[in-house]
């Protein structure tokens, strides 16, 4: 089983990234041949600041390695170190109907949020399909909002193979995260672009401020039971807590008239965040320092990924009649 997923370096990674993707990526590196890339080409649709992009790319890489990604088990690389994805993108676009891209939810959603409707934003799903197909990935772990992109990749693979009467491309399948939606501090899906995120490595006053920003109602537990099922703070705490801890806190919400309210939950959540991510913070800082193994890990991962990509691209060039690339 070949596993493929990517993460955009478009901002500081947060709890939504961890529970929605990173946690699953770290687990899957033990279950198959995993390839994980930092989607810096994709980031260019919304980020046009060279220094910022370089910094965020290193942030993502350091975060994954600090949290436990093993470069001996998983191929970890920058998307831009594999330029072959763009050639395959063109080949796919030549057999793809406009309607398929026009139906893409991500384009409509981003334009509705005020992002300029560039050609790159519109053809984003084609590049994502190429990212998936060029490594002949069989499994793509994604969040619910990315399922359509895997379905587009399936359609493009089928169209290419049918058009050129070949089996050069493998049909991928998606796998959803166990946590389909991580609520942000405002109750919407946690997202950098919404300004409602809690950074993974926040600490001290910054962490306390982020957690205290979680929106809750103004109900007093002395006046009646609270509802853990509608509480944003409880939903985030539940991601960290075991079954017994969740049950105890839920019982306090519903039955304990001496319960001190949502501040208790936020304090417990802060402690959980510190316990889960505190040990990785020092490792993250060391990886960000000059001379760490970070750049070598990305370089070696890029070389391995590019070799796989070139195999697939040669098969596609042969199928289309383009012939082998000059070396």
The tally of domains found in the chain comes to 2
Q: One of 113, 181, 192, 205 is an active-site residue; which one?
A: 192
Could you read off the pLDDT tens digit of each residue along the chain, which spans 327 residues? 999 999 999 888 999 999 999 999 999 999 999 999 999 999 999 899 999 999 999 999 999 999 999 999 999 999 999 999 999 999 999 999 999 998 988 888 888 878 888 898 899 999 999 999 999 999 999 888 889 999 999 999 999 999 999 999 999 999 998 887 899 999 999 988 788 999 999 999 999 999 999 999 877 777 778 899 999 999 999 999 999 999 999 999 888 766 778 899 999 999 999 999 999 999 999 999 989 999 999 999 999 999 999 999 999 999 999 988 776
Domain assignment of residue 146, yes or no: yes
User: Rounded to whole angstroms, how far apart are CA atoms 294 and 65?
Assistant: 8
Residue span of the structural domain in which 244 resides: 201-285
Give catalytic status of residue 189 as yes or no.
Answer: yes
CA 232/CA 249 separation, integer angstroms: 14
Give me the sign of the Cα torsion angle 286, 289, 293, 298. Answer: positive
**Residue 222 CB neighbour total at 10 angstroms:** 10
Cβ neighbours for 176, distance < 8 A, ≥ 6 positions apart = 141, 142, 143, 144, 147
**Residue 186: what pLDDT?**
95
* Together in a domain, 82 and 231: no
Residues 6+ apart with CB under 8 A from 41: 79, 80, 85, 86, 127
Give the separation between CA 40 and CA 153, rounded to whole angstroms: 19
pLDDT at 311: 97
Contact 200, 229 (CB under 8 A): no
Is 124 in the same domain as 224?
no
pLDDT the model gives residue 257: 66
Return the CATH number at 237: 1.10.240.10
Residues 177 and 112 in one domain: yes
223 and 313 inside one domain:
no
Same domain, 41 and 154: yes
Same domain membership, residue 261 and residue 132 = no
Both 52 and 117 in one domain: the answer is yes
Q: How far apart are CA 31 and CA 72, in angstroms?
A: 13
- 303 and 155 co-located in one domain: yes
Quick one: 164 and 313 in the same domain?
A: yes
Residue 240 within a domain: yes
Q: Exactly one of 181, 189, 208, 288 is catalytic; which is it? A: 189
In-domain check, residue 137: yes
In this structure, the answer to whether residues 153 and 252 fall within a common structural domain is: no
Q: What three-state secondary structure class fits 264?
A: helix
Our answer to whether residue 110 is catalytic in this structure is yes
Shared-domain flag, residues 135 and 49: yes
């Amino acid at each position: 089983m070949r596993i493929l997923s990517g993460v955009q370096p478009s901002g500081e990674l947060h709890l939504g990234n961890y529970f929605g993707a990173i946690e699953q990526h770290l687990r899957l590196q033990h279950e198959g041949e995993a390839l994980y890339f930092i989607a810096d080409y994709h980031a260019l649709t919304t980020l046009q600041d060279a220094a910022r992009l370089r910094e965020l790319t290193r942030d993502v890489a350091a975060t994954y390695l600090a949290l436990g990604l093993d470069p001996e088990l998983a191929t970890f690389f920058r998307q831009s170190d594999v330029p072959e994805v763009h050639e395959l993108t063109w080949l796919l676009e030549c057999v793809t109907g406009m309607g398929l891209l026009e139906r893409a939810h991500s384009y409509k959603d981003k334009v509705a949020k005020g992002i300029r409707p560039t050609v790159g934003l519109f053809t984003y799903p084609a590049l994502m399909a190429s990212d998936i197909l060029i490594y002949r990935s069989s499994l793509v772990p994604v969040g619910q909002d990315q399922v359509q992109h895997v379905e587009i990749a399936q359609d493009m693979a089928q169209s290419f193979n049918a058009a050129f009467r070949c089996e050069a491309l493998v049909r991928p399948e998606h796998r959803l995260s166990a946590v389909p939606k991580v609520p942000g501090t405002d109750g919407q899906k946690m997202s950098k672009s919404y300004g409602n995120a809690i950074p993974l490595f926040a600490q001290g006053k910054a962490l306390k401020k982020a957690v205290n920003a979680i929106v809750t109602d103004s109900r007093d537990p002395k006046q009646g039971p609270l509802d853990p099922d509608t509480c944003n703070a409880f939903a985030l705490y539940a991601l960290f807590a075991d079954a017994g801890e969740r049950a105890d806190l839920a019982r306090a919400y519903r039955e304990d008239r001496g319960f001190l309210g949502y501040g208790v939950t936020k304090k417990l959540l802060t402690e959980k965040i510190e316990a889960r991510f505190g040990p990785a913070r020092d490792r993250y800082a060391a990886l960000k320092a000059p001379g760490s193994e970070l750049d070598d890990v990305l370089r070696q991962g890029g070389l391995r990924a590019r070799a796989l990509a070139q195999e697939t691209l040669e098969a596609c060039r042969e199928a289309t009649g383009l012939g082998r690339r000059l070396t």
